[in-house]
Amino acid sequence: MRPTVLCFSGLDPSGGAGLQADIEAIGQSGAHAAIACTALTIQNSQQVFGFEATSKQLLLAQANAVVGDLPIKAVKSGMLGTTDNIAALADFLREHPDYLYVLDPVLVANSGGSLGNQETLVKAFVELIPLATVITPNTVELRALTGEDNIEQATQKLFEMGAQAVLVKGGHEDTPDYIRNALYVNGEMITESKCPRLAGEYHGSGCSLASFIAGRLALGDQLKIAVQHAETWLFGVLKNAETPIEGGQKIPKRF
Ligand code: PLP
């Protein structure tokens, strides 16, 4: 059986982000996706209307049901919804130190809607940071996690908080023509990439990138190679993204 990535992520009914993005991206990476669902959200491609989080007992029961059943090589987390779920995932990861772990520190939806109480989530994420093989914040999340405005200082602060590797995604920075991402390992930038900025807003681009990285890591890629594969793949699926009827955020075409 293909190496499996166990995703802790929420349901987005639009199919653009969340667990559907994870399943599609991981499938495209060549790995198999398993899901422990953290929350059911109510949203479309334009806005989030609300969500109901899974209890930590139910979340861990889902995850534990597939441990030993599937060849899990990596864990990926996206929307976790509550501090209880963050603590439960931290316990789960400490029980399975051999799993690679991609932490996408989701705080709000790309459309701007709340996916949890940002202040308490930020405090709880501190426990997950040292457990991650790589953390994939956009610059809004990076600033929120560290309280630092300057990107370089914020990245270094994340390493002081125990991070092993950080992929800083520049999609929210004011670079009208391009997006620059930079991969840091142990405080040092080891590679950066620039791609042309595509017009419009995309629903689930962060989920897709982090999941593809997790899939490639599960298959044995080195981190730098996994990130390069994922960035190339993401650019293609965003270029082919489809526009919803009411003109909401574009939905990446991952097949
Ligand atoms: N997870 C869920 C369930 C979501 O609904 C969203 C955004 O709507 C995200 C994660 C983060 O999505 P993005 O990849 O657009 O940052």
Please tell me the residue having the least CA distance from ligand 1 atom 7: 109
What's the 148 CA to ligand 1 centre distance in angstroms? 23
From the CA of 210, give the closest atom in ligand 1.
Answer: 14
What's the 26 CA to ligand 1 centre distance in angstroms? 16
Nearest to 173 by CA among 182, 164, 165: 182
What's the 227 CA to ligand 1 centre distance in angstroms? 19
Q: Are 48 and 113 in contact (CB under 8 A)?
A: yes
Helix (H) or strand (E) holding 167: strand 165-169
Q: Are 130 and 101 in contact (CB under 8 A)?
A: no
What's the 86 CA to ligand 1 centre distance in angstroms? 16
From the CA of 19, give the closest atom in ligand 1.
Answer: 3
What's the 13 CA to ligand 1 centre distance in angstroms? 11
From the CA of 206, give the closest atom in ligand 1.
Answer: 14
Helix (H) or strand (E) holding 77: strand 72-77
Nearest to 29 by CA among 217, 245, 252: 217
51-106: pLDDT as tens digits:
999 999 999 999 999 999 999 999 999 999 999 999 999 999 999 999 999 999 99
Residues within 6 Å of ligand 1 by CB:
9-10, 12, 17-18, 41, 43, 78-79, 106, 109-110, 115, 203-207
By percentage, how much of the chain surpasses pLDDT 90?
A: 96
Provide the residue type at 104 as one letter. Answer: D
147-169: pLDDT as tens digits:
999 999 999 999 999 999 999 99
Which pair of structure tokens corresponds to residue 216? 């490639």
Domain 4-164+200-240: state its class.
Answer: alpha beta
pLDDT bracket for residue 113 (50, 70, 90): confident
d(CA 26, CA 42): 23
Hey, where are the domains in the chain? 4-164+200-240
